[in-house]
Amino acid sequence: MGSVAFLFAGQGAQVPGMASDVKDDPAVKNLFGIAEGIAPGIVDKMLCGTQEELNRTLLTQPTMFLADLAYAYVREKEQGTPACVCGFSVGELPALCFAGALSEEDAFRAIVKRAELMEAYTQRVQGCMLAVVKLPAAAVEELCDGANTHPANYNGALQTVVACRAEAEEEFTAKVKAAGGRAMKLRVSGMFHCPELAPEAEAFEAFLRTLAWKEPRLPVYANLTAQPYAGDPAHILAMQMRSPVRFTATVANMRAAGVDEFIEVGPGNVLTGLVQRG
């Protein structure tokens, strides 16, 4: 018999009003109260903010954290505890919190810190994320130059997201088209999961080491390794900021471990769509 995995949505899935349908759940109310104590007004921004506001990294990350975790709490009550979890990029922190590796307070403080660091980074480095489709990952890797463009998210057999400096966007998009692919700009405010983020990742790791980490109650698959967390969680989570998200390999490893049903927790169904397309 197979088992279920929860997939925690990442940046780009944010929409106005997300989590409004579960805000009255007792566990969700408690979570939102903790968040308000740390970042006053954040729940109102999540429930009532515009798309433009929510697209700003400083708001995207903490609001996505809250929405993901809120939906996970409700789905667990409805369908039981999953066999394992995985979070896509920013979704990895609510996944770790859900699994008990961090308290709600520590995890929310961590996502606020991550958002602050990455917001500052978007001011330091101007760039974007481009979803390249119709080309295999190896072909996309060949198109990247390792300086202005970097493979950032391995989403499927024919979808790889590239972190791209602003000045290289036009040229790289043309290269993709010439190779028979198509590049689409994602709804995020910078270029992430690439070596450009090394200083921010170092600062984030130092912050993560101040938190009280615990053994998770269920396996949490890491973006960095595509395997369940093992070893130093602060280092793994910090390195995730500057490294590609290995989603395709993660799904394959979950299937090999017996998972045959994937439930996305968070707004939308981007991740389950990627799973279905393979």
Return the ∠ at Cα 40 (arms to 39 and 41), rounded to 5°: 115
Q: Which long-range contacts (CB under 8 A, 24 or more apart) does 203-206 make?
A: 203/117, 204/113, 204/114, 204/117, 204/237, 204/238, 204/241, 205/234, 205/235, 205/237, 205/238, 205/239
| CB distance 121 to 190 below 8 Å | yes
Half-sphere exposure of 273 (CA within 13 A, CB side): 8
> What are φ and ψ of residue 263, in 5° steps?
-115, 120
What radius of gyration do the chain's Cα atoms show?
18
89 is an active site residue: yes
Q: What amino acid occupies position 233?
A: P
Task: Give the separation between CA 3 and CA 147, rounded to whole angstroms.
Answer: 41
Task: Please tell me which residue in 3, 103, 189, 193 is annotated as part of the active site.
Answer: 193
Task: Give the separation between CA 228 and CA 250, rounded to whole angstroms.
Answer: 9
Task: Please tell me which residue in 89, 150, 189, 243 is annotated as part of the active site.
Answer: 89
Q: Which helix (H) or strand (E) holds 131?
A: strand 127-133
Q: Please classify residue 33 by burial: count the beta carbons closer than 10 Å to its beta carbon, then call 0-12 exposed, 13-18 middle and 19+ buried.
A: exposed
Q: What amino acid occupies position 162?
A: V
103 is an active site residue: no
Task: Give the separation between CA 199 and CA 213, rounded to whole angstroms.
Answer: 23
Task: Catalogue the active-site residues.
Answer: 89, 193
